[in-house]
């Protein structure tokens, strides 16, 4: 007998609703859920692969302990006992700083990890926190934090109402969007164009997104901040900025104008590879559009001026009056776990602060409570007080995802002890002494804790588990609490239940104060109302009910609760984005801060780039619909067809270097050399080559048998761990100087 289940796809930020047919313990069909209030039936090829992921024989189902160099199956009790036996003496002898944590991307897509990973981290009391954020979006969060007052307050294009969309360094036709939860970007772009709107794409490659746009401009990698500075400069110089309208609504307008004086379109044109006339045209078009939105993503973040580029995106949005207005860029209002100041909030807050600590070896400043993951290898290798000797990796694969993966791979071997929480034995986890497997994603319930804050629309959706987990296997939140009870000095030996109650208690304090919709109630009252639930479900019910759309535990009977979401398997639509200033802001001034000091102080570095030559060949990355960073190549339906790990190179460069299509090239950088098959194309800018990241599945000890059949090369062998955007600590993964030759 076949049953239908609805389940939000956990693989990427688009968060599509899936409709699954299930027969016993098998998934027999996967479709897009046409009735989903947010994604309306859209899916990509990865959605249906959820069935293969569930059935994958390589997916881990038992803990593993390394004995005599080999991973052998162990019981859960044995695995936790091994961690206690080996980790606690390291902490006792070398202190808490000797433990590091690396959090990978799926820890944002799995709410057990998102809500309880931080509990373990707090208990570890170590400054050595690293995550995929510093090979990804931290520059955007830092720029947003400095301008709007909070790392979580990121403005996203209001695509359904905009007239003009400028996109830099993003390819949502393949990635399905990022820091912008926007399922069916292709359909939304089509509708924008049908209503007379315009989309322009800036990318060193002519991507599928670029091909569908109205205009595409190649850009020399790493120069977006110069281009954006010139667009803004032209707007000021040509009097396209409505200064009167901004009066009282922003600080720093005059400073920005003064700082940008030298960045004229003519000054940046050669280095960006974009005609000055084109740059002026962009400035005029954005300013003239009734409603316009500028959006930058990976290509603008993972580069040497990542934070400046991200800032300048929102400088342009701000000076054209497009921040916080319909059709411009707006701040979604998440129903739970988001930022909400309440109807009376003034917008005044403490803002954000970085550099409260510095990394031991390189002195890199902490940002958002973490150090750059590019520092991880040196922190393991370098002796002295605070050297990392033990490491947790949680849903991550930094050997393939972070710069100088070769160095990190070697460094991990030197650890005294390593634990990985993963669903596969990946290229990183092969070094782990203990591996603790998560459940199949279909055995987990699901709520997106982060992505509603970046939604093209406001909505709330919850998916119960499709399959009951095997009774002998913990969920990941239980695993994390068990680890917490091992490492916590205060709660050592506490039960999972007691720790979960403690987690709830820390959330209850906020729940009875404004702007909670249950303000004025007592904590014990609320605790009693939640008594039937535990774990993430209990935290979600609390967050929904006290959140901006909540039922307030009775105050607003039509409001949201987990029961209400359970009664709406296709989700609850909460409407289009609405203006949220001042409530969304947390800045010291209470208004948008256009000229934060740390950003102005970084401008001389950008100014110096104006006089730079651009003779070198540079490497950029790319994504394909059939991939998801390093970890879905093991699913047969995604790992077929044309091999994806190729070196894209322009035909002029190929001819100059005598590289034929299909030949093998050797690509070298300061940090290493990889061998990759050549793909000659004119869809890439001359002087630029591209290799996708996430490949390199030929390492001994990893158990990914389908991925290993077509391993590809690890492009992060070439990324330089010393090259960072200094403000955010984000790695430079685009614009890497390389040499290319025939093998
Ligand atoms: N050169 C270059 N490098 C890049 C990028 C680039 O554009 N260019 N992009 C960067 C970006 S944006 C990112 S986000 C990072 C990603 O970097 P990472 O997060 O380090 O790597 P992933 O490949 O996402 O690995 C995720 C791991 O989580 C596991 N996993 C999946 N689901 C679960 C689960 O439910 N529970 C547990 N415990 N584990 C799970 C998978 O098996 C996999 O091993 O890569 C970055 N690296
Ligand atoms: N299919 C698929 N989807 C994914 C992922 C995946 O691995 N595969 N990963 C997910 C993750 S973790 C993330 S963070 C998102 C990322 O989502 P996106 O930001 O949309 O990432 P990409 O598709 O890599 O697109 C980045 C584009 O930037 C261009 N680029 C490179 N350097 C520069 C530059 O200096 N300037 C400009 N203007 N452009 C440049 C590249 O050519 C590329 O086309 O995708 C998510 N979705
Ligand atoms: S775009 Fe694909 S991977 Fe992303 S959520 Fe939708 S179906 Fe899943
Ligand atoms: Mo990412």
Tens of pLDDT, residue by residue over 486-510, are 999 999 999 999 999 999 999 999 9
My answer on whether 73 and 21 are in the same domain is no
Looking at the fold, whether 74 and 112 belong to one and the same domain comes out as yes
Q: Is residue 295 part of a domain?
A: yes
- Among protein residues, the one with the nearest Cα to ligand 2's atom 37 is 169
Q: Is 604 exposed, middle or buried (0-12, 13-18, 19+ CB in 10 A)?
A: exposed
Higher pLDDT, 614 or 184: 184
Q: Are residues 189 and 309 in the same domain?
A: yes
Nearest atom of ligand 1 to the alpha carbon of 105: 19
Residue ranges around ligand 1 (CB below 6 Å): 104-106, 110, 132, 135-136, 298, 302, 395-398, 401, 421-424, 426, 438, 441, 476, 621, 629-631, 693-694, 715-716, 719, 733
Choose which residue among 7, 8, 10, 11 to substitute to test ligand 3 binding: the one with the highest number of ligand atoms within 8 A of its C-beta.
11
pLDDT digits (tens, 9 = 90+) for 191-212: 999 999 999 999 999 999 999 9
| Residue 488 belongs to some domain of the structure | no
Eight-state DSSP code of residue 693: S
- Would you say residue 706 lies in a domain? yes
Query: Per-residue confidence at 614, pLDDT binned at 50, 70, 90?
Result: confident
Query: With the C-alpha atoms ordered 15, 19, 24, 29, is the resulting torsion angle positive or negative?
Result: negative
Query: Quick check: 613 pLDDT over 90?
Result: no
Asked if pLDDT for residue 647 goes beyond 90, the answer is yes
C-alpha–C-alpha distance, residues 283 and 661, integer Å: 39
Residue recorded with tokens 């609490």: 481
Q: How many domains, in total, are found in the chain?
A: 4
Reported confidence tier of residue 37, pLDDT bands at 50, 70, 90: very high
Among candidate residues 394, 421, 436, the one where a domain is terminated: 436
Indicate which residue's Cα is closest to atom 31 of ligand 2.
299
| CA 521-527-528 angle, 5° bins | 95
Same domain, 386 and 292: no
| Residue 176 Cα: closest atom of ligand 3 | 1
For residues 376 and 408, the answer to whether their CB atoms sit within 8 Å is: yes
Ligand 2 atom with minimal separation from the 221 CA: 35
Mind listing the pLDDT tens digit for each residue in 274-292?
A: 999 999 999 999 999 999 9
- With a Cβ cut-off of 6 Å, ligand 2 is lined by 12, 105, 136, 168-172, 174-176, 178, 202-205, 207, 219, 221-222, 224, 297-300, 303, 620-625, 627-629, 734-735
DSSP line for 326-347: TTSEE----SSSS----TT--S
Kindly give the residue spans of alpha helices, DSSP state H, lying in 533-587: 535-546, 562-566
Asked if residue 558 is part of any domain, the answer here is no
Same domain for 159 and 251, yes or no, is yes
Pocket test for ligand 2, best of 178, 231, 401, 626 (most atoms within 8 A of CB): 178
Q: Does 199 share its domain with 214?
A: yes
Domain boundary among 418, 436, 454: 436
CB atoms within 10 A of CB 234: 24
How many Å lie between the centroid of ligand 1 and the Cα of residue 442?
19
Count Cβ atoms below 10 Å from residue 108 Cβ, excluding itself.
22
| pLDDT above 70: percentage of residues in the chain | 100
- Same structural domain, 641 and 712: yes
pLDDT at 512: 96
Of all protein residues, the one whose alpha carbon is nearest to atom 17 of ligand 1 is: 401
Ligand 3 centroid to Cα of residue 63, in Å, is 29
Last residue of one domain, picked from the residues 436, 452, 470? 436
CA angle 227, 229, 230 (to 5 degrees): 65
Label residue 217 by pLDDT band (50, 70, 90). very high
For residue 136, how far is its CA from the centre of ligand 2 (angstroms)?
9
Partners of 201 in beta bridges: 167, 216
Residue 72 and residue 94 in one domain? yes
Does residue 48 lie within any of the structural domains?
yes
State pLDDT tens for residues 307-366. 999 999 999 999 999 999 999 999 999 999 999 999 999 999 999 999 999 999 999 999
CB 222 within 8 A of CB 735: yes
Question: For residue 73, how many C-alpha atoms fall within 13 Å in the half-sphere facing its CB?
Answer: 3
Q: What is the mean pLDDT of residues 692-716?
A: 98
CATH code assigned at 709: 2.40.40.20
- Mean pLDDT, range 551-573, rounded to an integer: 97
Are residues 254 and 187 part of one domain? yes
Instruction: Report which protein residue has its CA nearest ligand 1's atom 32.
Output: 106
The CATH number given to whatever domain includes residue 325 is: 3.40.228.10
Q: Structure tokens of 202?
A: 């800036």
Q: Which ligand is nearest to the CA of 623?
A: 2
Residue 439 has pLDDT above 90, yes or no: yes
Helical pair 111-124 and 535-546, crossing angle rounded to 10 deg: 100
Pocket-forming residues, ligand 3, beta carbon under 6 Å: 9, 11-12, 14-16, 43-44, 46-47, 176, 183
Structure tokens at 3: 């049953």
Query: Does 84 lie in the same domain as 50?
Result: no
Quick one: pLDDT at residue 644?
Answer: 97
In angstroms, the CA 142 to CA 332 distance is 18
Residue 546 lies in a domain: no
Q: Let me know the angle formed at the C-alpha of 623 by 20 and 676, rounded to the nearest 5 degrees.
A: 125
Beta strand pairing call for 672-680 and 664-669: antiparallel
Name the residue with the closest Cα to ligand 2, atom 32. 299
DSSP 95-117: -GGGEEEEE-THHHH-HHHHHHH
Residue with tokens 């990946």: 426
Residue 449 C-alpha to ligand 1 middle, in angstroms? Answer: 18
Residue 615 reports pLDDT greater than 90: no
Instruction: Yes or no: say if 339 and 152 are a contact pair by the CB < 8 Å rule.
Output: yes
Quick one: 6 and 144 in the same domain? Answer: no
Does 32 share its domain with 49? yes
Q: Is residue 689 part of a domain?
A: yes
Pull the structure tokens for residue 680. 């000659």
Q: Tell me how far the alpha carbon of residue 541 lies from the centroid of ligand 2, in angstroms.
A: 34
The predicted model gives 607-628 an average pLDDT of: 94
Dihedral, 122, 127, 131, 133 alpha carbons, nearest 10: 100
Question: Ligand 3 pocket check: which of 10, 20, 43 to mutate, most ligand atoms within 8 Å of Cβ?
Answer: 43
119: CATH: 3.40.50.740
Under 8 Å between Cβ of 418 and 388: no
Say which ligand is closest to the CA of 226. 2
Distance 131 CA to ligand 1 centre (A): 10
Distance 741 CA to ligand 4 centre (A): 30
Instruction: Print the domain residue range for 8.
Output: 1-55
Tell me the pTM. Answer: 0.98
**pLDDT confidence of residue 1:** 79
The CATH number that applies at residue 35 is 2.20.25.90
CA distances from 398 to 29, 80, 132 (A): 33, 24, 8
Q: Say if residues 381 and 362 touch (Cβ distance below 8 Å).
A: no
Secondary structure of 292-323 in HEC code, one letter for each residue: EEEEECHHHHCCCCHHHHHHHHHHHHHHCCCE
Give residue 589 CA to ligand 1 midpoint distance, Å: 37
- In-domain check, residue 672: yes
DSSP 8-state assignment for residue 288: H
């Amino acid at each position: 007998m076949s049953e239908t289940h609805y389940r939000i796809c956990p693989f990427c930020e688009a968060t599509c609703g899936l409709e699954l047919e299930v027969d016993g313990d098998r998934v027999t069909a996967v479709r897009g859920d046409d009735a989903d209030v947010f994604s309306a039936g859209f899916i990509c090829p990865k959605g249906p692969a959820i069935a293969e992921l569930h059935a994958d024989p390589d997916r881990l189902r038992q803990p593993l302990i390394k004995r005599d160099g080999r991973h052998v199956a162990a019981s859960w009790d044995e695995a936790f006992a091994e961690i206690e036996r080996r980790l606690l003496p390291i902490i006792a002898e070398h202190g808490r700083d000797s433990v590091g944590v690396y959090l990978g991307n799926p820890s944002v897509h799995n709410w057990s990890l998102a809500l309880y990973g931080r509990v373990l981290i707090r208990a570890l009391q170590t400054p050595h926190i690293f995550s995929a954020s510093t090979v990804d979006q931290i520059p955007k969060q830092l720029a947003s934090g400095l301008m709007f007052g909070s790392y979580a307050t990121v403005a996203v294009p209001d695509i359904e109402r905009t007239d003009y969309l400028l996109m830099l360094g993003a390819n949502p036709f393949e990635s399905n969007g990022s820091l912008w939860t926007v399922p069916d970007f292709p359909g939304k772009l089509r509708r924008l164009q049908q209503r007379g709107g315009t989309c322009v794409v800036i990318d060193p490659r002519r991507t599928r997104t670029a091909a569908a746009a109205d205009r595409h401009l190649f850009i020399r990698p790493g120069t977006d901040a110069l281009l954006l500075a010139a667009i803004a400069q032209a707007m000021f110089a040509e009097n396209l900025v409505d200064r009167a309208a901004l009066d009282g609504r922003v600080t720093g307008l005059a400073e920005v104008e003064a700082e940008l004086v030298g960045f004229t379109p003519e000054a940046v044109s050669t280095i960006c590879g974009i005609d000055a006339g084109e740059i002026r045209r962009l400035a005029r078009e954005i300013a003239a559009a009734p409603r316009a939105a500028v959006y930058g993503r990976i290509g603008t973040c993972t580069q040497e001026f990542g934070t400046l580029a991200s800032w300048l995106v929102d400088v342009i949005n701000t000076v054209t009056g497009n921040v916080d207005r319909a059709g411009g860029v707006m701040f979604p209002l998440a129903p739970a776990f988001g930022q909400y100041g309440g109807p009376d909030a003034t917008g005044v807050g403490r803002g954000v602060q970085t550099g409260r600590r510095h990394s031991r070896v390189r002195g890199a400043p902490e940002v958002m409570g973490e150090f750059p993951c590019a520092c991880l290898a040196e922190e393991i290798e370098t002796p002295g007080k605070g050297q990392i000797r033990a490491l947790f990796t949680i849903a991550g694969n930094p050997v393939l995802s972070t710069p100088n993966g070769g160095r990190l791979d070697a460094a991990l071997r030197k650890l005294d002890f390593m634990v990985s929480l993963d669903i596969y034995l990946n290229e990183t986890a092969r070094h782990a002494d203990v591996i603790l497997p998560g459940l199949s994603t279909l055995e987990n319930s699901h709520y997106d804790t982060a992505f509603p804050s970046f939604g093209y629309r406001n909505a709330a959706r919850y998916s119960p588990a499709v399959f009951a987990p095997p009774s002998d296997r913990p969920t990941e939140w239980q695993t994390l609490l068990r680890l917490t009870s091992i490492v916590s000095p205060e709660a050592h030996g506490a039960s999972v239940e007691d720790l979960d109650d403690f987690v709830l208690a820390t959330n209850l304090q906020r729940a009875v104060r404004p702007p909670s919709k249950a303000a004025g109630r007592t904590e014990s009252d609320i605790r009693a109302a939640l008594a039937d639930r535990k774990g993430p479900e209990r935290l979600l019910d609390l967050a929904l009910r006290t959140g901006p759309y909540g039922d307030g535990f009775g105050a607003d009977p039509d409001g949201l609760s987990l029961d209400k979401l359970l009664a709406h398997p296709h989700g609850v639509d909460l409407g289009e984005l609405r203006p949220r200033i001042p409530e969304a802001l947390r800045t010291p001034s209470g208004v948008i801060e256009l000229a934060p000091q740390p950003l102005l102080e970084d401008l001389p570095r950008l100014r110096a780039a104006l006089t730079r030559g651009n003779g070198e060949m540079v490497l950029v990355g790319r994504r394909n619909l059939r991939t998801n960073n390093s970890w879905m190549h093991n699913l047969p339906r995604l790992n077929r067809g044309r091999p994806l790990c190729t070196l894209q190179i322009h035909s002029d460069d190929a001819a100059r270097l005598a590289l034929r299509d299909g030949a093998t090239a050797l690509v070298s950088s300061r940090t290493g050399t990889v061998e990759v098959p050549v793909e000659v194309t004119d869809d890439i800018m001359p002087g630029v080559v591209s290799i996708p990241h996430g490949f390199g599945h030929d390492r001994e000890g990893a158990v990914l048998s389908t991925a290993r059949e077509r391993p590809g090369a690890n492009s992060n062998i070439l990324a330089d761990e010393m090259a960072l955007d200094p403000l955010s600590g984000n790695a430079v993964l685009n614009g890497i100087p390389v040499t290319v030759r025939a093998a």
